[in-house]
Structure 1
Amino acid sequence: MSSSPLAPTGTTTNSPARPSLTVLGGFWSTATFAVARTLLAADPSLLLVRHDISGIREGVVRRVIRSGAGIVSDERVELRHGCVSCTLREDVLPTLARLARTHPDRDLVLMLPEVVEPEAVAAACAHCLVDGAPVTDLVRVDSYVTVVDTEHLLDGLASTDDLRDLGIHAAADDHRTLADVVVRQIEYADTLVLWGTSPEGPFDTSRMSVLLQRMAPWATQVHVGADVVDATELSRQLRDTDRHRPETPAVLARGLEGYALGVHEPQADCGVVSTVFRSRRPFHPWRLHEALEAVNADVIRSRGHLWLASQPETVVAWEFAGGGLSMASLGRWLTAQPDDSWDHVSDQRRLAAALDWDPYYGDRHQNLVFVGLDLDPADLHRTLSGCLLTDAELADGEETWLRYVDPFAGCFPPIAVDTEGTVPG
């Protein structure tokens, strides 16, 4: 078992001379486009880039560039392959780079198609090269803004529909649900715009605001509920904020990197409850498997990571949305790796592990957050605690744990490391 890791620090720099890029996304495109038009009204010099990917599976997208004065260009683009990754690599990033070179004094807004997750764009900006360099050499990513339609938010989060069933999947192998897309758009954003009001009244509008805050407590929230929108004020709230932090890890890795995974607010606010479950003890695989339905019965969103006694080397990701639970491998715990392999993980993860290192468990622990309406946090914690190993089971040791009947056996193969900067479609 490895000793506690050390964590050197690093620094990043930003160049203020590059055009600013605001990435604007959201599943409800009417609301998202309304925000985009408002930004153009506030600053007619802005260039808005928008891609219609309704024909993407046939290898065709439509690119429209607008300014405050109207349409600058409207072109049909043919791709070598029909997927979001190809669109980002072959047209979105080159378009941003071209506009930054030809109009260095004009800021940019990239409006994402409804089923595109902002994390895919961030990965492309970081890893996919345009003329031998990342697009961030030419533009400064200012903020990732997600627009949420107040009236439809709860239905979207509760939806069990697959994008394929809705006919809006972004690639042949796109198996995401509508709820998957909505939660990832919300949770990656550094700025959330709650657009409109609920037809159920002010209380329900407030409830949607609290729900967003519980789901993404790290994001700045802006509510636009009036019939008449102050374009100047909204532009001030959304642009030139410098809120994007490229070093921030993906949501499921936040806990491993020492970032807050969620907030513990067990007292309901407008009916919304958020509770964090943490423990050093491992889960018994069979008891956890039997409790899965009960654990997520009243949950809108849960996420995090855990460790199973029967698979003590593997960090298991936990992600629930839209009635479906996904569990996968996030790699290996540091305590299960030789010291020289720690160089392959981030400095931040090594630091987080060092600060929370346990002589027996190492960096292994449970870290899960649950968000729901009228959720009973005490009952949830009792259920999860009952899935942990007892004192007697802990005393049996790892050799015994490895022989437990494990319904999750073979479910978490080691994750592949992508060294070519490809972006999931």
Structure 2
Amino acid sequence: MSITPITSAVSPSVDHRPAVTVLSGFSPGAVQAAARALLIADDSLIAISHDLTVIRDGRVRRTVESGARVLERADVEMVHGCISCTLREDVLPTLVRLARERPRSDQLLVLPPAVEPEAVAAACAHCLVDGLPVTAAVRFDSFVTVVDADRFLDDLTSTDDLRDRDLHAAGDDHRAVAEVVAHQVEFSDTVVVWSRPGSVDVHRTNVVARLLAPWSVPVQVGGSDVLDCTALAAAVLRSGRHDPERPGVLGMALEGRSIGVPEKGTSLVFRSRRPFHPERLHDALEELTEHALRGRGQLWIAAQPDAVIAFEFAGGGVSLGSLGYWLAALPPERWTETSDQRRLAADMDWDPYYGDRRTTLALIGLHLDHTAIVTLLRSCLLTDAELADGFDAWQQMNDPFEGCFPLSENH
């Protein structure tokens, strides 16, 4: 008896939502040049941009354009002059409105220099437009960051705050230039390195950008007087590279994802199941970050054994914050509040004594002394004798970080 396979007549569903490519970068000239090249290459593409130079006065200027003409330009009054309000009150509603008015036009959202792409993703995850998620109207295809080879390393090594360059979005915006530059690259799915004939830092820019975002696709542009707009569009538009499930860089290690690529002289990843002694770690922070351009990851401190502590360094300043509880500090019935990936990563590397507690730090620089840095970090860990004292004794240690990482039920 012969068997004829049954084939389905149902074709796979087609996603008709306009695709949004988010274009960010700290160098306005390079970002605008990239946006113009993409509009030239694709006459169905529309670009949305916001001028925030007067945001502290409660206004933003919105422009929508195609490759051929300006479609609209408007000054928008903001209830509160801040980036998050601008995203909620105008940027996301504009994407939804244009998707309805021009359903066959994909969108290019061009961010101002001081706006971090992760803020857009966070706003999309929490904000509704007309009672529906933003993603009911559009799909976020890719986050693309443009770095200018002539400025990138200077900005990444700068100790300036946004306020020093009059780019702060509000009175309480104390972000560092280097912090914003690093965040823009790290959240990207595609990194476009924009160079000009005679640019001298192209190689180092490529190296550092790759180390900051090894998960991103690199695209090299420039080096000649002729720009292939079609090739650039093919490299960055409709790539489908964005993974909405990928956490921010500080949460990646918790899900078992790589946060760095060890490379002699430029990048190292330090891991330890032993906790840090709070005083020794505190005293070592300045020396630890002295020669690094960027540091990131998670750590745990013996005096606060329940808290996952986020570690960030850029632009001369160290930032530590709370990422919530270690799973080992929670009753098992609460583990379902975390992602499947985090629970799987914890299960695969569970320690019978520490549980999922562990330190994972990545440091990136141009001239890292691996041996000295690892030696310094190990000297900050608990000794065998301190380890033997146990959790109760650890929490009695003198802790310079006491009260810095409060935990709540929301964590």
Asked if Structure 1 and Structure 2 have the same fold, meaning a TM-score greater than 0.5 normalized by the shorter chain, the answer is yes
Q: How does 1:17-56 map to 2 (within 5 A)?
A: 17-56=16-55
**Equivalent residues of 1:317, 1:330 under 8 A apart:** yes
Corresponding position of 1:343: 336
Q: CA deviation digits over 1:165-211, x for unaligned, max 9? A: 3221112321111111111001001100111148563xx31111011
State whether structure 2 residue 255 is matched by structure 1 residue 262. no
Deviation (angstroms), 1:73: 0.8
Counterpart amino acid of residue 148 in structure 2? D
Corresponding position of 2:249: 251
Deviation (angstroms), 1:318: 0.3
Task: Report % sequence identity.
Answer: 55
Classify 1:15/1:398 alpha carbon distance in 2 versus 1 (closer, same or farther; 3 Å).
farther
Counterpart amino acid of residue 172 in structure 1? G
Corresponding position of 1:242: 240
Aligned pair partner of 1:207 in 181, 204, 209: 204
Classify 1:108/1:416 alpha carbon distance in 2 versus 1 (closer, same or farther; 3 Å).
farther
SS of alignment partner, residue 413 of structure 1: coil
Q: How does 1:67-216 map to 2 (within 5 A)?
A: 67-197=66-196, 201=200, 204-216=201-213
Give the Cα separation in 2 of the matches to 1:64 and 1:189.
Answer: 24
Give the Cα separation in 2 of the matches to 1:400 and 1:128.
Answer: 45
Q: Which moved more, 1:363-372 or 1:345-354?
A: 345-354
Give the Cα separation in 1 of the matches to 2:357 and 2:198.
Answer: 46
Classify 1:59/1:84 alpha carbon distance in 2 versus 1 (closer, same or farther; 3 Å).
same
Aligned pair partner of 1:311 in 290, 304, 314: 304
Aligned pair partner of 1:221 in 198, 218, 229: 218
Counterpart amino acid of residue 312 in structure 2? E
State whether structure 2 residue 286 is matched by structure 1 residue 287. no
Give the Cα separation in 2 of the matches to 1:286 and 1:28.
Answer: 40
Corresponding position of 1:376: 369
**Equivalent residues of 1:150, 1:198 under 8 A apart:** no
Unpaired stretches in structure 1, ≥5 consecutive residues:
1-12, 419-425
State whether structure 2 residue 402 is matched by structure 1 residue 409. yes
- Whose RCO is larger (CA < 8 A, sep 6+)? 1
SS of alignment partner, residue 311 of structure 1: coil
Q: CA deviation digits over 1:106-160, x for unaligned, max 9? A: 1110000110000010111222111111111111111000110111111111111
Deviation (angstroms), 1:322: 0.5
Q: CA deviation digits over 1:233-289, x for unaligned, max 9? A: 000000110000000001100000111111111x24xxxx11000010011111111
Q: CA deviation digits over 1:348-407, x for unaligned, max 9? A: 111111111000110000100000111111111111011111111111111221121111
Residues matched between the structures, number: 399
Give the Cα separation in 1 of the matches to 2:378 and 2:400.
Answer: 19
**Equivalent residues of 1:329, 1:415 under 8 A apart:** no
Corresponding position of 1:8: none
Deviation (angstroms), 1:343: 2.0
Aligned pair partner of 1:392 in 385, 388, 394: 385
TM-score of the superposed pair, with normalisation by structure 1: 0.91
Classify 1:177/1:348 alpha carbon distance in 2 versus 1 (closer, same or farther; 3 Å).
same
Deviation (angstroms), 1:417: 4.4
State whether structure 2 residue 352 is matched by structure 1 residue 359. yes
SS of alignment partner, residue 308 of structure 1: coil
Counterpart amino acid of residue 402 in structure 1? Q
SS of alignment partner, residue 124 of structure 1: helix
Classify 1:82/1:15 alpha carbon distance in 2 versus 1 (closer, same or farther; 3 Å).
farther
Unpaired stretches in structure 2, ≥5 consecutive residues:
1-11
